[in-house]
Amino acid sequence: MQEINKNAPVLVTGATGYIAGWIIKKLLEKNIPVHATIRNKDQKEKIAHLDKMASNSSSDITYFEADLLKANSFDKAMEGCELVIHTASPFFLSPKDPQKDLLDPAVNGTKNILNSVNNTPSVKRVVLTSSVAAIYGDAKDAQELPEQTLNESHWNTTSSANHQPYSYSKTLAEKAAWDMHKQQDRWSLAVINPSFVMGPATNPHANFQSKLFLQQLGNGTMKSGVPKSQIGIVDVREVSEAHIQAGFDTKAQGRHILTSKTSSFLEMAQILRKGFGDQFPIPKRTVPKWLLWLVGPTVGYSRKMTTNNIGYSFKLDNRKSIEALGVQYRPIEESLTEFFQQLVDEKLIKK
């Protein structure tokens, strides 16, 4: 495997994103120059937090405008880069138009990025941000597995454009990446498959799904109860460090599940209630499955989602990330509490 030069710039796509912000922060702290792609360089407020990071670093950020749906728009940003970290992909749980909002940007965007990689002789390695959503679609999918445990060998086979479209978009995008990787022998590929990402943001004022979920736990939206369902949780700081480790350690191969533990929505609420329960209407109970089945469709929670997820337990095997990438997982209590406190401090969760 070719060694990656740490003096060469690293391209990070989707630079204003939640995960990308931390990747850029950690690269700059390691004195590694960054090429950052954004959609519009004129929107200075969206990159102010990145500019601040660069001003406190001895390394630099160079911005490039690029569009996931425009062929060759990443070519310029890749010039001179040996490592490309592709994080850019939309995350909507209830899109109005799944094909336009999720599938096209995720799949065609990945193909456009990798076509640019093929056009850029300097690139030796690509790290792709995928998701555990490409490993399973519904909690029910794990029920026939030993100890209901999912690992990197599993693929999501149950999602579609009409059911769990976000999961479907991540599955198709990752498969497209592996297909394009197999068609050449110049650059290597590593994939990061995080579970639901939590932890403080480099820009808490941006809009992203993790923030929205925590706001709903704290602002009364879910005060009548949460679904009796589980998700894997991982801290954004571990996710960012894993991307960088996978980028420079070319022995890291294949997919890597990133998760600290699998937690129920109620357990997450209970963690927050310990620190903030007297100040905010954090939920205390679960919603009965029959009631969620009845009213869920009115709030974007389909009956098929209720049927295939509520009441099912599963686990995610994180051993490969620990052994291959050296990930050290912090407790989810720390991730949730620090993130919630940040949102309170920024007045993004109101009592």
Q: How far is CA 290 from CA 4, 202, 251, in A?
A: 54, 39, 49
Query: Could you tell me the residue ranges of all domains in the chain?
Result: 10-344
Is the separation of the CB atoms in 143 and 312 below 8 Å?
yes
Q: Which CATH class is domain 10-344?
A: alpha beta
In the predicted model, what is the mean pLDDT of residues 302-325?
92
- Looking up tokens 């555990």 gives 132
pLDDT band at residue 91 using 50, 70 and 90 as cut-offs: low
Q: What is the DSSP letter of 204?
A: T
Amino acid at 146: P
pLDDT at 56 over 70: yes
pLDDT given for residue 171 in this prediction: 97
Question: From CA 326, how far away is CA 318, in angstroms rounded?
Answer: 11
Cβ 47 vs Cβ 12: under 8 Å: no
Judged by average pLDDT, the poorest of 75-79, 144-148, 229-233, 306-310 is 306-310
Per-residue pLDDT, 154: 98
Give me the chain's average pLDDT, please.
93
With cut-offs at 50, 70 and 90, classify the pLDDT of residue 303. Answer: confident
Query: Is pLDDT of 320 > 70?
Result: yes
At 67-84, the pLDDT tens digits run 999 999 999 999 999 999
Q: What is the distance in angstroms between the CA of the first residue and the CA of the last residue of the chain?
A: 53
**How does 41-53 read in b/e, with b if 16+ C-beta sit within 10 Å?**
eeeeebbebbeeb
Q: Which of the residues are catalytic?
A: 170
pLDDT given for residue 279 in this prediction: 92
Candidate ranges 41-55, 177-191, 213-227; pick with highest mean pLDDT: 177-191
Pick from 81-90, 91-100, 127-136, 181-190: least confident: 91-100
Residue 19 near residue 209, CB atoms below 8 Å: no
DSSP 226: B
Please say whether the beta carbons of 192 and 170 come within 8 A: no
- Cβ-count burial of 33 within 10 angstroms (0-12 exposed, 13-18 middle, 19+ buried)? buried
Tell me how far apart the alpha carbons of residues 73 and 66 are, in angstroms, rounded to a whole number: 5
**Nearest-angstrom CA–CA distance, 197 and 163:** 22
Crossing angle for the helix pair 236-248 and 18-29, to the nearest 10 degrees: 60
Element (H, E) at 112: helix 109-119
- The single residue listed with the structure tokens 């950052």 is 36
Residue type, 107: V
Looking at this protein, which amino acid is placed at residue 6? K
Instruction: Specify the pLDDT at position 97.
Output: 83
254's tokens = 């294949």
pLDDT of residue 205: 95
Query: Which are the contacts of 164, defined by CB distance < 8 A and separation ≥ 6?
Result: 133, 137, 138, 158, 305
| pLDDT tier at 58, thresholds 50, 70, 90 | confident
**What is the torsion angle, in degrees rounded to the nearest 10, for the CA atoms of residue 236, residue 125, residue 82 and residue 14?**
-40
Question: Per-residue pLDDT for 236 more than 80?
Answer: yes
* Percent of the chain at pLDDT exceeding 70: 95
What per-residue confidence (pLDDT) applies to 307? 87
Please state the rounded mean pLDDT for residues 325-334: 97
